[in-house]
Amino acid sequence: MPVRGGCLCGRVEFEVDLPFAKFVKCHCSRCRQATGSAFAANAYVLPPAFRWLAGQDHVARFDLPQARSFSTSFCRECGSPLPHATRSGREVIIPAGSLKEDPGASPTIDACWQSRARWLSDAVDLPTSD
């Protein structure tokens, strides 16, 4: 069953076949910087399970030179994170926030938990107003 995704401005669209090979929340500092969030939620699929539907020419890729395998892709127009193949080409990484439909799955792996943002683990529940 395919699930569609794309960027914020709508120029880029893609489709991915389920199920995911893995679904990961990564807490490393690089993923936090790349997403501007506490962690990156990424689904992984094999290349035949991924297809660009529109706007592939609007996708830019950044390979962090000092890292063996860290990369990210984004829309040149709106900056939204987008899928990219690993440097080895063995998998395609799908930023979960770029999915427009519910994949019916949740992340099952918390990678680099020891590197997590300390402010995330110190969160407290706030009282609700009645």
Determine the Cα–Cα distance for residues 75 and 9; give it in Å rounded to an integer: 9
Stretch 21-26: mean pLDDT, rounded?
A: 90
Predicted pLDDT at 110: 74
The 10 Å Cβ neighbour count of residue 94 is: 26
Predicted pLDDT at 113: 67
Residue with the larger pLDDT of the pair 108 and 14: 14
124 lies in a domain?
no
Q: What is the longest distance spanned by two Cα atoms in the chain?
A: 53
Residue with the larger pLDDT of the pair 23 and 123: 23
122 lies in a domain?
no
Determine the Cα–Cα distance for residues 113 and 48; give it in Å rounded to an integer: 30
Range of the structural domain that residue 40 is part of: 2-117
The three-state secondary structure class of 19 is: coil
Torsion region of 79: left, alpha or beta (phi above 0 gives left; psi -120 to 50 gives alpha):
left
Predicted pLDDT at 127: 55
Cβ pair 106, 113 in contact under 8 A: no
Determine the Cα–Cα distance for residues 27 and 117; give it in Å rounded to an integer: 7
CATH of the domain at 58: 2.170.150.70
Predicted pLDDT at 3: 97
**In this predicted model, what pLDDT tens digit does every residue of 86-111 receive, in sequence order?**
888 899 999 999 999 999 988 776 76
The three-state secondary structure class of 113 is: helix
89 lies in a domain?
yes
Predicted pLDDT at 38: 78
107 lies in a domain?
yes
Q: What is the DSSP letter of 119?
A: H
**In this predicted model, what pLDDT tens digit does every residue of 35-93 receive, in sequence order?**
878 788 999 999 999 999 999 999 999 878 787 777 889 999 999 999 999 888 899 99
Predicted pLDDT at 120: 67
129 lies in a domain?
no
Q: Where are the alpha helices (DSSP H) in 65-126?
A: 118-121
Number of domains in the chain: 1
